[in-house]
Amino acid sequence: MTSTDFPNFKTHFIELLQQASNAITSLEATVVDIELTRTKQASHGDYSCNLAMQLAKPLHKSPREIAQLLINALPPSPYLEKVEVAGAGFINLFIKNSAKQQFLHYILHSKNTFGNSTLGQGKRIQVEFVSANPTGPLHVGHGRGAAIGASLSNILTAAGFDVSREFYVNDAGRQMDILTLSTWLRYLELNHIHIPFPQNAYQGEYVKIMAQQIFQAHAQRYVHQPELLLDSLPEAVLATEMNPDEQLDKLIANTKEILGQDYAYIHNFVLTEQLGDCRNDLMEFGVEFDTWFSEQSLFDNGLVAHAIELLAKKQHLYQQDGATWFRSTNFGDEKDRVVQRENGQFTYFASDIAYHLNKFGRGFDQVINIWGADHHGYIPRVKGALQALDLDAEKLQIALVQFAVLYRNGKKAPMSTRSGEFVTLRELRQEVGKDAARFFYVMRKSDQHLDFDMDLAKSQSNENPVYYVQYAHARVCSVLVQWNDNVDNLQDVNTDALSSPAELALLQKLIDFPDTLEMAAKEFSPHLIAFYLRELASEFHSYYNSTRFLVPEIPLQHARLALIASIRQTLSNGLLLLDVSAPDKM
């Protein structure tokens, strides 16, 4: 056994069981997948299989009897110590200690590629995430999508996928117009022209700052004729029966009229400003994208019109009340959806259809959208549109991320975008640090609500799981520094001395890492990595307190150092997947 061709025990044993299964039964279709799970108790061995129970019914024999037949038919393996029947008919497999011990050589040779697999077989997979409206700073709600998307992308890359990270920029919609209007109104204020600022416009300080920038660079250049702004609106804009949204739309229309060509300048200025800010913010959060895809480009290139034409050609559209509807009920949606409004404008849904059509045209084998859980009702219509276009909707998978609720001083922190009352992602990073923020965001299953306790994230104590994992890494580093030799010299040392229950459990834990990573990739579940790291750190801390490493007996010393060096490597690899730093000292 050389370090480079070390098998994945789990898949190896599954193959053996498959062969045994084939030997005792000809019923091929009875069991599709053989499942092997880690045991909870050491007395049950290392892996357990329930195949015999599943075969009991089709074979009309008792599970224990079948289990024994399977064991008898099991091909020999150099890694197996013993196999036994237990309980109702479980087949428990025990790995040889020597195989576990030699696994360390594999880890120490693999270094930062330990854990990687070829699961993805180089398939191209796109992960689209964050995709926040560029109308203001990212807040803590966006942070979770960012952390999960980035970590998942890392995990998929490690699992052998060719990952492309994409941010869909909603630069074409009404929200951008509202931001443009908001900025212009603030700009007018700087020119001593005061027009009541609508409640539902963007209130945040950053709007005033952008207005300031325009004012400093161009003085009165963009004032034009603001007295026309309130045309056709009731004199007191704020005190009126008119629907606030209609009001806003009217103001936007008037602004476009008044500014003419210059509207585009302000629109473009605020977009560039916000997008740049967003990009920086995310970069400092350890999140980067391969592609920033513009919604506006879909209109500019005629792709939206094209997508709608395609749907029309395939008879999936109809006219009603002056609007154009997509018959999404044919594809399981609860009602049909408008794609083109009475006023001729395409809806957001229309550009989204074009966007997904474009995505599919780019040749990805799989497309993942990470969406906020509030978008769950949106899924059927998008998948429906793909089906209507004769595309394989199965290729698109939506991962819903539940909201994160922020707790500060034991109280819920308010979060409202439009009013400007929210904790920004930047503030969160400054307060708790990037590492803690990234780790906390992925600590929970993504489809579960997350209570983000800022006080806990900030605490530099045993309460904080981030420090707990990082501390384990730093402790190993400290020992290895005092050992004062090249860690590479441990790569092939004899590891037979690692035979205590704690050591064997740690070895098995390390063996689990590649499986955990594969599982995280298959299930789109970065939280599995966070949990794994905590468990590994926990076992290490316990081991650290009970065992001395720098003992005088050199073979024992080297074996133990090889173990903790492997633990360090695994912690480091795992933390890297989450973009959390692995410090040498703390």
Partner RNA sequence: GUGCCCGUAGCUCAAUCGGAUAGAGCACCAGCCUUCUAAGCUGGGGGUUACAGGUUCGAUUCCUGUCGGGCACGCCA
Q: Is the dihedral of CA 76, 79, 83, 89 positive or negative?
A: negative
The least distance separating RNA from the CB of residue 88, rounded to whole angstroms, comes to: 4
What whole-number distance in Å separates Cα of residue 496 and Cα of residue 270? 65
Nearer to RNA, 218 or 395 (CB): 395
Contact residues for 330 (Cβ-Cβ < 8 A; gap 6+): 316, 384, 388
Cβ atoms of residues 109 and 4 within 8 Å: yes
Nearer to RNA, 197 or 407 (CB): 407
Nearer to RNA, 409 or 462 (CB): 462
**Which one, of 464, 481, 472, lies nearest residue 583 by Cα?**
472
Nearer to RNA, 111 or 548 (CB): 548
Q: Provide the token pair at 151.
A: 């970590």
CB neighbours of residue 220 within 10 Å: 12
Q: What angle do CA 140, 141, 147 make, to 5 degrees?
A: 80
The least distance separating RNA from the CB of residue 585, rounded to whole angstroms, comes to: 4
- Residue 252 falls in which region: left (phi positive, over 0), alpha (psi -120 to 50) or beta: alpha
The least distance separating RNA from the CB of residue 123, rounded to whole angstroms, comes to: 17
The least distance separating RNA from the CB of residue 467, rounded to whole angstroms, comes to: 4
The least distance separating RNA from the CB of residue 561, rounded to whole angstroms, comes to: 9
**Which one, of 483, 520, 490, 458, lies nearest residue 152 by Cα?**
520
The least distance separating RNA from the CB of residue 217, rounded to whole angstroms, comes to: 28
What whole-number distance in Å separates Cα of residue 283 and Cα of residue 297? 24
What whole-number distance in Å separates Cα of residue 449 and Cα of residue 373? 10
Nearer to RNA, 254 or 340 (CB): 340
Q: By three-state DSSP, how is residue 420 classified? A: coil
Nearer to RNA, 90 or 187 (CB): 90
The least distance separating RNA from the CB of residue 224, rounded to whole angstroms, comes to: 26
Nearer to RNA, 95 or 223 (CB): 95
The least distance separating RNA from the CB of residue 186, rounded to whole angstroms, comes to: 22
The continuous run of DSSP H or E covering 164 comes out as strand 162-169
Nearer to RNA, 223 or 350 (CB): 350
- List residues bridging with 317 in a β-sheet: 326
